[in-house]
Amino acid sequence: MKKAKTFRPTAFAFPYVGVTIVFVIVPLILVLIYSLIGEDGSFTFNNFIDVFSNPENVNQLFKTVGIAALSTAICLVIAYPVAYILASSPFNKIAILSLLFIIPMWINFMLRIFALKSMLQMIGIGQSYGAAVIGMVYDFFPYMLLPIYTVLSNMDKSYNEASLDLGANGVKTFLKVTLPLSLPGIISGISMMFMPIFSSYSITMAMGDMNTSVIGAKIATLFEQDSYGYGSALSFVLLVIVIAVMLIGSALSGKTSKPIKGGKKDE
């Protein structure tokens, strides 16, 4: 019964594996290699030394974390109540309603930023730190809303009922049950916004003043000026930060996300 040529369906993944190695793994290795090559082509740690010895870089990094944290926090504070309302009765029966909030996702973000910028200028808000934050919130809002909304609307309502049944009123039920159970959605929303802001120099450039920028802008400028070694070193530092944030995030959501469905064990 054996076929002449044995074929394993896993082979379907080979093209993707090849593409991933060439276009994902190799570039990351190249970032590391270029960051260790000096201007004369020899091996050196100078690029990294430059990165950390220049207080402007560290300063820039803190500023980036600052604007990312502020924008993300504001966005969360707006998106959570909206998601909560949308997932609750009677709003959850109006399918078009949640769609309305997400439609902007499909419109080119630069055009949306252009629209927002025009609007703000019309009401007298020029380029400023605040405008950049508004830009971030405006751009990332659907990405923050969607995961929270998904978690809330898929949440088994018997958890709520059980809490009410055991004597917790509406507010306590929200704080002790709904909020902790929606944590995976919150974490997912934050992760879809916080790190991407590091690269969102187009928004700070369009909306912010001269002092407002993110670390991504610095890297882009370095590459435009052909400082590949220095730029790579800074990129590599950013990569390490990304990995660290990713690990922390998955540790956090691993703790909370698994039990969200409740019920039976996986294995």
Partner 1 sequence: MNKKPSSIVALIVKWLVLIIVLAAIYLPLIMIVAYSFSPARSIGDEFGTFTLSLYGKLFENEKLLSATRNTLVIGIISATLATLLGTTASIGIHYMRKKSRAIIDASSQITIVNAEIVTAMGFFLLMLFLRDTLLLPVNFSITWLIIAHTVITTPYVILTVSPRLKQLNPNTLEASLDLGAGPMRSLFTVMLPQLAGAMVSGFALAFTLSLDDFVITNINSIGADIETISTFVYSGIRKKLPSEIRALSTLIFAVVLISLIVYNIIKNKNAKNSKGDKK
Partner 2 sequence: MDTEEKIIELIGVEKSFGDKPVVKNLSLYIRKGEFVTLLGPSGCGKTTVLRMIAGFETPTKGRILIGGEDITAIPPYRRPVNTVFQKYALFPHLNVFNNIAFGLKLKKIPASEKNGKTIYRHFTKEEIAEKVNRALKMVDLEDYGYRNVNSLSGGQQQRIAIARALVCEPKVLLLDEPLGALDLKMRKEMQIELKRMHRELGITFIYVTHDQEEALTMSDTVVVINDGQIQQIDTPKEIYDEPKNAFVANFIGESNILSGTMLKDRLVKFLGVSLPCMDGGFHKNEQVDIVIRPEDIAISVGGEGQFKGEVISSVFKGTYYEMIVLADSYEFTVQNTSNFNLGTKVVLGVSPSSIHIMRKIRTINSFVGEVEDEETVWLCGGSFKFNNADETLEKGDEVIVKVPFDAVEILDDENDGVIGAKVKQSVYKGTYYQVQLRTDRGEDFLVDTPYEWNINDRVGINLIPEKIIVEKIDDAENEPITDSEAD
CB of 80 to partner 2, least distance (A): 17
CB of 253 to partner 2, least distance (A): 12
Q: Which of 181, 150, 177 is nearest to 79 (CA)?
A: 150
Residue 43 binds: one of partner 2, partner 1, none (C-beta under 5 to 8 A by kind)? none
CB 212 within 8 A of CB 135: no
Answer for which of 70, 105, 125, 183 binds partner 1 (CB under 8 A) is 105
CB of 238 to partner 1, least distance (A): 5
CB of 259 to partner 2, least distance (A): 3
Using the rule CB under 8 A, is 263 a contact of partner 1?
A: no
The one segment of 44-52, 178-186, 215-223, 254-262 that binds partner 1 by CB under 8 A: 215-223
Residues forming contacts to partner 2 in the complex (CB under 8 A) are 156, 158-159, 161-169, 172-173, 176-177, 180-181, 183, 256, 258-265
Residue 91 binds: one of partner 2, partner 1, none (C-beta under 5 to 8 A by kind)? partner 1
The one segment of 44-52, 178-186, 214-222, 253-261 that binds partner 1 by CB under 8 A: 214-222
The one segment of 51-59, 152-160, 176-184, 225-233 that binds partner 1 by CB under 8 A: 225-233
Using the rule CB under 8 A, is 62 a contact of partner 1?
A: no
Residue 14 binds: one of partner 2, partner 1, none (C-beta under 5 to 8 A by kind)? partner 1
Cis before residue 90, ω within 30 degrees of 0?
yes
Residue 10 binds: one of partner 1, partner 2, none (C-beta under 5 to 8 A by kind)? partner 1
